Amino acid sequence: MMNEKLSLLFARLTASGPLGIAYSGGLDSRFLAFAASLAKARFTLLHVSGPHVSEKDTQQALAWAAHHGFALRVVPVNILALPEVRKNSRERCYYCKRALFSRLRENADGLTLCDGTNATDLRSPRPGLKALQELGIASPLADAGFEKHEIRESARLLGMERPEQPARPCLMTRFAYDMQPSEAALRMVAALEEEVERALREFFPDAAETPDFRVRVHAARPAELHVSVPLSSERIQTLKAALEARIALEAQTVASGAVPETTAAMFKNMPVLVCRAVSGHHDRTP
């Protein structure tokens, strides 16, 4: 069955003409690009940068593409300039996807635009999928029937790096619906999650990937750090100390106006909660 899906995927990728692949650097878009290269398809990767994407994620995405020699184009988009996105309602993803893929189309120079949506995604409530359908964006992985676990399995089979890469959705997802995050708040989340990842790598040096985690920002209570694995009280204290140090470092830019004091205060004394699911803002299940 897996070979049949791979054959179907390769056939779709080569039959579509030159492709523009929406490329975040996550597992799905990396696998789609990797499969396109194996199929000898012609393609260009299109990576959106902006305040909703951490600088680290962008640099890692660019480095992986460069390592494989894939053509890549960076498309800057400030999604906070879009009122419908800035409101951060439950329909935010629809307006965001519609704006981003419209911009990608403008920069695709006639390439057939596709993305890494998979068959598992189609069964979850994702307002952004409606925007992709309206814009006629192709989703070769979903069309070939690839479930998320099959993408990981195929990535291992084909020798692609990091087949267990955890999902890292856009930074807007860290904020409760109807909160309107500033660029400074998004930047702070990115900085703190970078610190968390560094600490978890030290705690679990032999793990193929760091345990999953998210910073979660709420409207009526302090921000929290959700982690997917139990941590000893000593490690929690070590992690909290690292986060406080990073907050203080980021807050040094208050004088320049980059990180207002009110933003830094949102993240002070964050509790660390062990959660079975950390993928969505409302997945908190300690």
pLDDT, tens digit (0-9, with 9 covering 90-100), for 91-131: 999 999 999 999 999 999 999 999 999 999 998 778 899 99
Q: Are 169 and 136 in contact (CB under 8 A)?
A: no
Q: Considering all CA atoms of the chain, what is the largest pairwise distance in Å, rounded to the nearest integer? A: 59
Closest CA to 90 of 130, 135, 54: 130
The string of DSSP letters for 102-142 reads: HHHHHTSTTPEEE----TTGGGS--HHHHHHHHHT-B-HHH
Calculate the alpha carbon distances from 168 to 62, 94, 248 in Å. Answer: 16, 18, 25
- According to DSSP, the β-strands at 224-227 and 213-216 are antiparallel
For the beta carbon of residue 245, count every other beta carbon within 10 angstroms: 11
Cα 67 to its chain centre, rounded Å, is: 20
The amino acid at residue 214 is: R
With a cut of 50, which residues of the chain have pLDDT below it?
Answer: 282-286
**pLDDT for the residue 3:** 83
Reply yes or no on domain 2-158 having CATH 3.50.50.60.
Answer: no
DSSP bridge partners of 21? 45, 114
pLDDT tens track for 160-189: 999 999 988 999 999 999 999 999 999 999
Whether the predicted model's global pTM rises above the 0.95 cut: no
- Asked whether the beta carbons of 111 and 44 are under 8 A apart, the reply is yes
What pLDDT sits at residue 234? 96
Element (H, E) at 73: strand 72-76
Q: CB–CB of 225/243 below 8 Å? A: yes
Residue 220 has a pLDDT of 82
Rounded Cα distance, 44 and 70, in Å = 7
Res 285: pLDDT: 42
